[in-house]
């Protein structure tokens, strides 16, 4: 695919049989199938259908990857940071991390460092900059304040990833998304609520382009 981004099967609104068929298609074509937002009732059936294959999921992530026998992972040299404000934001953050890894980047995760405990953020963020990170994804629900704080500090592009955590007015990620769109901090762009896949692709596209330029240099 010219775009440099893998095809991802959106599991939520599809029949299990349809998902399995599409995964077989991708495996035949590219040696790998990535499925996001797999419903719990599809999970086991899909796993069963691919018993001979290597199947991996990241922790709480709502994403699954199936590798064909000949699949060779590539390593681009790109580096992406994934930060979450709360523990409830982790599944969406992990979805982004899966995509970033499948696009060949290294991922560093820093979780549960929201604005109610900003002191926990300072040191790992400094380390991330020192480790030459190319782009940072910040997942946050509720007030969505963390991406603005990180974008105010980071010398690289930040992708705001609102999560559907929070209740009442502005709940389900709405306040988080709006607050990110209204940010006072420079260099923050956003994707939709819970769109870990979209955040991952954008961050990896950035990191891979930088890595490619670095690569050429070292040749």
Ligand X SMILES: Nc1ncnc2c1ncn2[C@@H]1O[C@H](COP(=O)(O)O)[C@@H](O)[C@H]1O
Which 176-215 residues touch ligand X, going by CB under 6 A?
184, 186, 195, 197-198
CA distance 40 to 132: 38
State the alpha helices, DSSP H only, in 70-195.
90-102, 119-130, 146-153, 174-181
Is residue 58 near ligand X by the rule CB under 6 A? no
Share of the chain residues as helix, strand and coil, in percent rounded to the nearest 5: 40, 20, 40
Residues in the chain: 219
The residues in 8-47 that bind ligand X, with binding defined as CB under 6 A, are 8-10, 36-37
Choose the stretch contacting Mg ion; rule: CB under 5 A; options: 96-104, 120-128, 131-139, 146-154: 146-154
Q: Which is nearer to a second copy, 66 or 211 (CB)?
A: 211
Does 161 bind Mg ion (CB under 5 A)? Our answer is no
Residue 132 Cβ vs Mg ion, minimum distance, rounded to whole Å: 26
Residues 95-134 that bind Mg ion (CB under 5 A): 114
Shortest distance in whole angstroms from residue 157 CB to Mg ion: 20
| Distance in angstroms (rounded) separating the CA atoms of residues 72 and 45 | 26
By CB under 5 A, residue 142 contacts Mg ion: yes
Q: How far apart are CA 27 and CA 85, in angstroms?
A: 35
HSE-up of residue 140 (Cα within 13 Å, Cβ side): 29
The binding track of 111-140 with respect to ligand X, each residue x by CB under 6 A or -, is -----x------------------------
d(CA 212, CA 210) in angstroms, rounded, equals 5
Closer by beta carbon to ligand X, 10 or else 131: 10
Q: Assess 87 for contact with ligand X (CB under 6 A).
A: yes
**Based on CB atoms, which residue is closest to ligand X, 77 or 153?**
153
- Please give the C-alpha separations between residue 14 and each of 36, 40, 194, in angstroms, as whole numbers: 11, 12, 18
Cα distances from 169 to residues 53, 139, 142, 147, 176, in angstroms, run: 45, 20, 10, 20, 11
Residues lying near ligand X in the complex (CB under 6 A) are found at 8-10, 36-37, 86-88, 116, 184, 186, 195, 197-198
Residues lying near Mg ion in the complex (CB under 5 A) are found at 85, 114, 140, 142-143, 146
């Amino acid at each position: 695919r010219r775009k440099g981004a893998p095809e991802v099967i959106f599991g939520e609104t599809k029949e299990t049989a349809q998902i399995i068929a599409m995964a077989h298609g991708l495996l035949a074509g590219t040696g790998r199938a990535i499925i996001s937002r797999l419903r719990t009732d599809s999970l086991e059936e899909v796993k069963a259908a691919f018993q001979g294959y290597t199947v991996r999921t990241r922790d709480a992530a709502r994403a699954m990857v199936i590798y064909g026998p000949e699949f060779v992972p590539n390593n681009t040299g790109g580096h992406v940071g994934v930060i979450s404000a709360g523990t409830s934001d982790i599944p969406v953050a992990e979805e982004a991390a899966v995509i970033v890894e499948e696009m060949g980047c290294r991922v560093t995760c820093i979780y549960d460092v929201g604005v109610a405990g900003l002191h926990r953020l300072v040191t790992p963020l400094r380390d991330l900059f020192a480790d030459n990170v190319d782009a940072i994804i910040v997942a946050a629900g509720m007030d969505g304040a963390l991406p603005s704080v990180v974008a105010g500090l980071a010398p690289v592009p930040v992708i705001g990833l609102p999560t559907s955590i929070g209740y009442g007015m502005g709940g389900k990620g709405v306040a988080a998304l709006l607050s990110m769109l209204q940010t006072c901090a420079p260099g923050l762009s956003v994707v939709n609520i819970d769109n870990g896949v979209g955040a991952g692709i954008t961050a990896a596209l950035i990191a891979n382009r930088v890595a490619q330029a670095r690569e050429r240099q070292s040749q």
